[in-house]
Chain A
Amino acid sequence: MLYTVRELTQYIKHRLQDDPSLSEVSVRGEISNFTHHTSGHMYFTLKDEHSQLNCVMFRGANAKLKFKPVTGMKVVCSGDIAVYDKRGVYQLTVWDIQPDGIGALYQAFEQLKVQLSEQGFFDPARKRPLPMFPKTIGIVTSRTGAVLHDILNVIRRRFPAVRIVLAQTRVQGEGAAAEIAGAIKQLNKLSRTDPIDVLIVARGGGSIEELWQFNELKVAEAVFHSEIPIVSAVGHETDVTICDFVADLRAPTPSAAAEIVVPDREQLRQQIAGHKIRLDHAIRRTVEMRRDRLARAERGVVHPRDRINQLRQYIDELTRQIHTTVTHRLQLRRKDLSMLGATLHALSPLNHLQRGYSIVLRAPDRAVVNTIDAVTAGSDLQILVTNGMIGCRVREIKEGWDHE
């Protein structure tokens, strides 16, 4: 049987393409010789240790890929076997590629993470501190669902002295990323005239598919360019998204984000009360210190009036003392005097005269005559007795009393 090349190729093509076991097949292998042509189509070879398979993934199909296939990647390709007439080769027309072992989304996530990391999206130096006491808080999340409710509850409980600006968006499904990015931009724009202090971008927990919109480049870029600090709280504690990495702070849950963003009113009250106590204490101490100092100083300084009074008192005291002394002395003198009087009395010659003695005086000079030498015969004498004087003349003088 003689065929033209074309006829044989067509035959082979139909045999292959009509075989149901060669359509909608999945093939496991490693990508090699990967090229992403300017036309948008992808060409690569799928190989294992023994064989190779040419693959093509057309633009329409590969646009849906969440990750970028690269040479060396282990994958599972789904597609149909087809024949490329012009070159007489068979190939796998690929509709979808799944990374082998780890999920496509995970792969995409890792790739975007690397890319953004290289672009400095996660640079710790870029992270801004959150305001201590935000007055206005922007929230980007779905209006339905528990997340908004939780956030508002926490804020209401902890620190209701704030204004909330809600930008509601969808938080999953195609297009949600654009809404989230748009909301962040709009809040930033609003903030230029009506300041917003901090943003919370939040979503409840979910599968990686459900959280996927927060891994989109659009969201990452919006967060990156936000002038308002952003707290990202997407999913549960264990879920991480690109949005979390780019944000200034990642909160484990939406409620936690609210707790991070607003201070605790009760704690602040206690803090203020504590300050008040310290104020009272400090001022009391200050005043007491001054009072002590004043008291100490006062002990050193005497008011003039006090001094005068004290002097007066001193003078009074002195006067009293003098008076006492003088009186005492006078009494003493009086006593002396009376004693002297007594002595004088005792010594008075009159006493002797009364007892029979008499005093003999020499007449001219009234000298007391107590020896015979004081007189000569014929001297005039005066004899004093108690009641008068007797004049007489010396007749004889003899020594000694025993003359008869």
Chain B
Amino acid sequence: MSENEDITFEDALSELEDIVHELEESGLTLEDALLKFETGVKLSRLCNKELDDAEMRIEQLTEDGVRAERVEIE
């Protein structure tokens, strides 16, 4: 995993899936397996955080159609 915290949810999830598969294949050295495991745990935490954190944000296209501005809609 790149140390980049800006990894998208989609990328994080698919990387997590890859790691699960790699670990289950068990062709890794112990050292690699532990590293992968650590990364996997980090990714799952990151994914959950993405899911928990976010609040829906609503914007509306401005009259001239060039920008979107934040609005409150119930």
Interface residues in chain B, defined as those with a beta carbon under 8 Å from any beta carbon in chain A? 8-10, 13, 16-17, 19-20, 23-24, 26, 28, 30, 33-34, 37, 40-41, 44, 47-48, 50-51, 53-61, 65-68, 71, 73-74
Which one of B8, B9, B20 contacts A279 once the chains associate, using CB atoms below 8 Å?
A: B20
* Count, chain A residues at interface, CB 8 A: 42
B17 to chain A, nearest CB (A): 7
- Interface status of A311 (Cβ within 8 A of chain B): no
Given A152-B73, A186-B66, A286-B33, 6 more contacts at CB 8 Å?
A149-B73, A194-B68, A275-B17, A279-B20, A279-B23, A283-B23
Q: How far is the CA of A168 from the CA of B59 in the complex (A)?
A: 11
Chain A residues touching B, majority SS: helix
Contact among B19, B50, B60 for A161, CB-based, below 8 A: B50
Inter-chain CA distance A117–B58, complex, in Å, is 36
Chain B nearest CB, measured from A157 CB (Å)? 10
Contact A164 B56 (CB under 8 A): yes
A187 at interface (Cβ–Cβ under 8 A)? yes
Q: Is the CB of A167 within 8 A of B47?
A: no
Measured in the bound complex, the distance between the Cα atoms of B20 and A285 in whole Å is 13
Which residue of chain A has the shortest Cβ distance to B66 in the bound complex?
A190
* Nearest Cβ on chain A to B54's Cβ, whole angstroms: 3
Flag whether A166 is at the interface (Cβ < 8 A). yes
Indicate with 1 or 0, residue by residue over A289-325, a CB within 8 angstroms of chain B CB atoms: 1100000000000000000000000000000000000
Q: Write the A132-169 contact mask toward B (1 if CB under 8 angstroms, else 0).
A: 11010000000100001100100110001111111110
16 contacts between A and B (CB under 8 A): A156-B56, A161-B53, A161-B54, A163-B56, A165-B68, A166-B58, A167-B60, A183-B61, A187-B61, A268-B51, A278-B24, A282-B24, A282-B37, A283-B23, A283-B34, A286-B28
**Shortest Cβ distance from residue A148 to the other chain B in the assembled complex, whole angstroms:** 7
Please encode chain A, from 267 to 284, with 1 for each CB lying within 8 Å of some chain B CB and 0 for all others. Answer: 011011001101100110
B68 x A133 contact (CB < 8 A)? no
Contacts of A285 in B (CB 8 A): 26
CB contact between A190 and one of B16, B17, B26, B65 (< 8 Å): that residue: B65
* CB contact between A133 and one of B10, B24, B48 (< 8 Å): that residue: B10
Task: Give the CA-CA distance A163 to B71 in the complex, in Å.
Answer: 11
Q: Give min CB distance, A274 to chain B, whole Å.
A: 9
Closest to B39 in A: A279
Binding site for B on A (CB under 8 A): 131-133, 135, 143, 148-149, 152, 155-156, 160-168, 182-183, 186-187, 189-190, 194, 265, 268-269, 271-272, 275-276, 278-279, 282-283, 285-287, 289-290
The answer to whether B26 and A148 touch across the interface, beta carbons within 8 angstroms, is no
CA distance A163 to B58 in the complex (A): 6
A269 to B67 Cα, complex, angstroms: 34
Choose among B23, B59, B66, B67 the residue that contacts A163 (Cβ–Cβ < 8 A): B59
The answer to whether A182 and B65 have CB atoms under 8 Å apart is: yes
CA distance A131 to B11 in the complex (A): 12
One of B44, B67, B74 near A272 (C-beta < 8 A): B44
Q: Which residues of A contact B13 (CB under 8 A)?
A: 133, 268, 271-272
How far does the Cβ of A182 sit from chain B's closest Cβ, in whole Å?
7
Tell me whether B37 and A283 are in contact (CB under 8 A).
yes
Determine the distance from Cα of A143 to Cα of B57 in the docked complex, in whole angstroms.
16
| A166 cross-chain contacts in B, Cβ below 8 A | 58-61, 71, 73
Note all chain B residues with C-beta closer than 8 A to A289.
26
With A and B bound together, what is the CA distance between A149 and B61 in angstroms?
17
Q: A189-B65, A275-B40, A275-B44 are in contact. Are A152 and B10 (CB under 8 A)?
A: no
Do the beta carbons of A133 and B58 come within 8 Å of each other? no
List of A residues within 8 angstroms of B74 by Cβ: 149
Tell me the complex Cα distance, A271–B17, Å: 10
Interface centre among A268, A271, A286 (most CB of B within 10 A): A286
Cβ A160 vs Cβ B54 within 8 A: yes
